Amino acid sequence: MDAAFRVLIVCRANVCRSPLAEGLMAQALDRAGLSSTVLVESAGTHAGVGEAACPQAMHWSPAAGFGRGSRGVTAQLLGASDLVLAADRESRAECALLDPACRPRMFTLNQAAVVADSLRGPLEDGLPIEGAPSMPIDPRERLTWLVGEMDAARTHLSARPGDSDDIADRHGPAPHSDVFVEVEGAVTRIVGLLAAVAG
């Protein structure tokens, strides 16, 4: 798995949004036949090491990987990741402070989903992306190529209100299943693009 394309998902505490996204993405990648090509991990910008996952999130997706306990994001984790997906702009900004070099390959989950929608149609139709170099043959190299195309496609984000980039942190005792719906929707759209490129 050392040669895998690495995705890191980040939120604040790594007990609700990011571990749910990690688990859902791992399951979707497995269904797409990409579990040996893509490795998904998660971490938190303010995580208390080893804290238990959100019970509501675990109930939403019991098969998702919540067993590890929370962990903090580090510059080393960011530097080793090919794609960084943050739950919100605040988490994204804190990651950029830790490792400024990761900015071109870092998006919020919602930003990546919007960019995925803009790129997926032409790719699935077998059309080249305008101005893009030809796609590599190796699946991991194709995904690395894709991240460059995602960075170039950020113009699709310019007209959006800033708060639409965020999946809000509503973790707590009150029901917050709307967060899980939003996480699952973004993950589904992103994995659709990864599968279209790597498949």
* Predicted TM-score (pTM) of this structure: 0.92
User: Quick one: tokens of 73?
Assistant: 């994001």
The pLDDT tens digits of the residues spanning 58-93 come to: 888 876 656 678 999 999 999 999 999 999 999 999
Alpha carbons 128 and 195: distance in angstroms, whole number: 16
DSSP conformation class of 41: E
Tokens of 60: 């939403």
Instruction: Give the model's pLDDT for residue 64.
Output: 64
Q: Distance between CA 85 and CA 111 in Å, rounded?
A: 9
- Of 190, 191, 194, 177, nearest to 17 by C-alpha is 177
Cβ neighbours of residue 188 closer than 8 Å, sequence gap 6 or more: 28
DSSP state of 165: G
CA atoms of 151 and 30, how far apart (whole Å): 25
Checking phi first, is residue 14 left (phi over 0); if not, alpha (psi -120 to 50) or beta?
Answer: left
The answer to whether residue 137 scores a pLDDT higher than 60 is: yes
Task: Of 195, 119, 122, give the one whose Cα is nearest residue 155.
Answer: 119
Q: How far apart are CA 117 and CA 107, in angstroms?
A: 14
Q: Decide if 44 contacts 10 (C-beta within 8 A).
A: yes
Give the Cα separation of 184 and 128 in Å (integer).
28
Q: What pLDDT is stored for residue 156 in this prediction? A: 80
pLDDT tens, position by position, 94-124: 999 999 999 999 999 999 999 999 998 766 6
